[in-house]
Every structure is written in structure tokens, then in C-alpha cells.
Amino acid sequence: MKPTVRIAVTGAAGNIGYAAAFRISAGGMLGTDQPVILQLIEIEPALQALKGVEMELLDCAFPLLENVITTSDIETGFKDTDYALLVGAKPRTKGMERSDLLGDNGKIFGPQGRALNNHASRGVKVLVIGNPANTNALIAMNNAPDLSPSQFSSMMRLDHNRALNQLSLKTRSRTTEIKHLTVWGNHSLTQYPDISHCSINGKDATSLVETSWYREQFIPSVQKRGAEIINARGASSAASAASAAIDHMRDWVFGTPGKDWTSMGIPSTGDYGISEGLMYSFPVRCRNGRCEVVQGLHMDDFSIDMIQATEKELLEERDAVKALL
């Protein structure tokens, strides 16, 4: 067995937090040889519900779960934590865009960034899930000057997994046969699910689908999948979001498989002409706990327009929260 690690989850009594806590405790995120202490954080009014989550976690008698801490105090919740999943935030409802949440949710992430800066393990890895995830991650990162920007990320893995699903249905292939897919930019309507470098069982994906399907059906369906789920469920995605968070952290820690890559919101250092500092989703390979943007991909005019449109939206979001940075 490895030495125990601490994992903080905010919003842990909410839908995504509830789904994630059990998967983490069962070893789905860090492996079945990794004992964990869960540090579950909620706002005061949800502490009683959080107690119920703690009781259920303990009732599972998970062999890897050494302890559960529940708190509404972020300094206690982030103390010495090795991993932080920042989920706690309002979800949107029918008819809203995720950026409409910025006013209410943005202010959560400055104090959390500062608490991580002052109390988390120096190697903490932070994943922001609460929407609008990219700009909330930008706020947290900017409030943690003693941590490296590379310790912060925002979740695009749900979009990536959604794109894999749509493409596998269309081409009657398994998702594991699809390689080199990217979702660029913002977790929003402007995201760019890009199959131009993608192969399926060694064949170019673009040769297996019609351009009209790719541009008029595939891209919009991935962009709008979150809203489609809200319309169907009456609540936003939860189990699929928790699953994507587990995938994101697992690949960050253990590495992306083989020569494939994944999509992660990470601080831009100017790759592909994207403004430095923006929390932007790139094609990313992870090795030894570090993430690197895949270099040298050829971008055609369509792709350039798409990656710039989603960058523009992130620049506007950054402007809207400049007082919080």
C-alpha cells in the first residue's frame, strides 16, 4: 500500500460531489492500492446532508477509505490536501448559459484559491468543475500566487467523453478505437470539438464521416449536450460529470495512455496563439504528473476560426471578473 493521500471535494453533498465521493473511495481515481482521506466541504446549511453522505461512505466499509472529514471551513477542508476537486457552485437551469453563473459562482473561487495557497500540500493538483469552470479556475489560480499555475486545471473531459461517444455511435466503433480527439477552448457553446487529427482504428476520422455531419451535427451536439441533459433530466449532468472528473485526475496522475492525448483546461502559455494565462482547453499529454500541450498540429482555416472564437469568449469572461483576479 502507498502512503495515504488527502482529497478535498467541495460541494460534496451536491449531485456531482455525491457521485464522485464513492468512486474516489473505491479506488477509481487513484487506484486500488492508494488509501485516501476524504475532506468534504460544504456550505453551512448543507452540513447536515453532508453528515448523511459521510455516514453512507462509512457504511460502504471501503478498504481504502481511512477517514472522512466534513467541514464548512475551507482552511480546514483544504489543509494538507494533495488533490482538490472544486465542485461546489450553483448549476444552471433551463434557458441559462453557463457564463450567466459567473456573478454568483465567481466569488466562491477567490477565497478557495487563497485557502489552497495557504493550507494545501505544496504539490496539490486542483481541478475546477463548478461552472463556468474555465474562468472559475482562472480566478482560483490567480489567488494562489505561491502555487504553480500548472497545479490548476478546469474540466473539459466531459466534453471530450461526449465527443468520443458521438463519434463512436456514428462510425460504429468503440470509444477506445478513437485516438487524438481534442475539444479546444471553453466549456461552453463556443467549445471546438475537433476531429481533424483524429484516427479510428488507424483511419482518418474525417474520411469516415461527411463534412456536413461533422460541422452541422457533431460539433453542435457536443456543444449543446449539457443543455440537452438539463432538458431531459430537469437537472444538470451529475454521474457523467463525476466520471469525467475521475478520468481527468487519473490521467493527470498516471499519464495519458500510449501516444494518445486528452482535453484539459490548463493555463495557456501561448501555444497555438492563445493568449497567455487564459484557462483554455488544449490537446494535452500527461507524464509523471505533468501535463504538456501537444505541439505542431496543423490547424486549417476552419480550426483557426473555431479556436479563436472560443478564445474570444474566454477573454470576455476574464474581463468580466478582472476585479477577482
The neighbouring-strand residues paired with 71 are 41
User: Catalytic: 119?
Assistant: no
**Binding-site partner at residue 325 among ligand LMR, ligand NAD, none, CB < 5 to 8 Å by type:** none
3-state secondary structure the chain: CCCCEEEEEECCCCHHHHHHHHHHHCCCCCCCCCCEEEEEECCHHHHHHHHHHHHHHHHCCCCCEEEEEEECCHHHHCCCCCEEEECCCCCCCCCCCHHHHHHHHHHHHHHHHHHHHHHCCCCCEEEECCCCHHHHHHHHHHCCCCCCHHHEEECCHHHHHHHHHHHHHHHCCCHHHEECCEEEECCCCCCEEECCCCEECCEEHHHCCCHHHHHHHHHHHHHCHHHHHHHHHCCCCCHHHHHHHHHHHHHHHHCCCCCCCEEEEEECCCHHHCCCCCEEEEEEEEECCEEEECCCCCCCHHHHHHHHHHHHHHHHHHHHCHHHC
Choices 11-19, 21-29, 267-275, 293-301; region in contact with ligand NAD by CB under 6 A: 11-19
Note whether 169 and 252 are within 8 A (CB): no
Residue nearer to ligand NAD on the CB measure, 79 or 92: 92
- Minimum distance of ligand LMR from residue 263's CB (angstroms): 13
Catalytic residue among 119, 160, 180, 187: 187
Residue nearer to ligand LMR on the CB measure, 75 or 228: 228
Is residue 129 a contact point for ligand NAD (CB under 6 A)?
yes
Binding mask of the shown chain, residues 37 to 56, with x at each position contacting ligand NAD by CB under 6 A: ----xxx--x----------
Position 19, amino acid: A
Residues numbered 49 to 68 that lie near ligand LMR (CB under 6 A) are: none
- Minimum distance of ligand NAD from residue 234's CB (angstroms): 12
CA dist 295 and 291 (Å) reads 12
Residues numbered 64 to 123 that lie near ligand NAD (CB under 6 A) are: 87-92, 108
The neighbouring-strand residues paired with 178 are 200
**Binding-site partner at residue 155 among ligand LMR, ligand NAD, none, CB < 5 to 8 Å by type:** ligand NAD
- Residues that bind ligand NAD (rule: CB under 6 A) add up to a total of 29
Residue nearer to ligand LMR on the CB measure, 110 or 130: 130
- Minimum distance of ligand NAD from residue 203's CB (angstroms): 30
Choices 175-183, 228-236, 255-263, 268-276; region in contact with ligand LMR by CB under 6 A: 228-236
Phi-psi region of 265 (alpha: psi -120 to 50; beta: other; left: phi over 0): beta
Residues numbered 235 to 254 that lie near ligand LMR (CB under 6 A) are: 236-237
Binding mask of the shown chain, residues 266 to 295, with x at each position contacting ligand LMR by CB under 6 A: ------------------------------
Residue nearer to ligand LMR on the CB measure, 124 or 128: 128
**Binding-site partner at residue 306 among ligand LMR, ligand NAD, none, CB < 5 to 8 Å by type:** none
**Helix 225-233 to helix 157-171 angle, to the nearest 10 degrees?**
90
Note whether 137 and 128 are within 8 A (CB): yes
Is residue 186 a contact point for ligand LMR (CB under 6 A)?
no
- Minimum distance of ligand NAD from residue 23's CB (angstroms): 14
Choices 118-126, 129-137, 278-286, 307-315; region in contact with ligand NAD by CB under 6 A: 129-137
Residues that bind ligand NAD (CB under 6 A): 10-11, 13-17, 41-43, 46, 87-92, 108, 129-131, 133, 155, 158, 187, 236-238, 241
Query: Would you please indicate which residues are annotated as catalytic (active-site) residues?
Result: 187
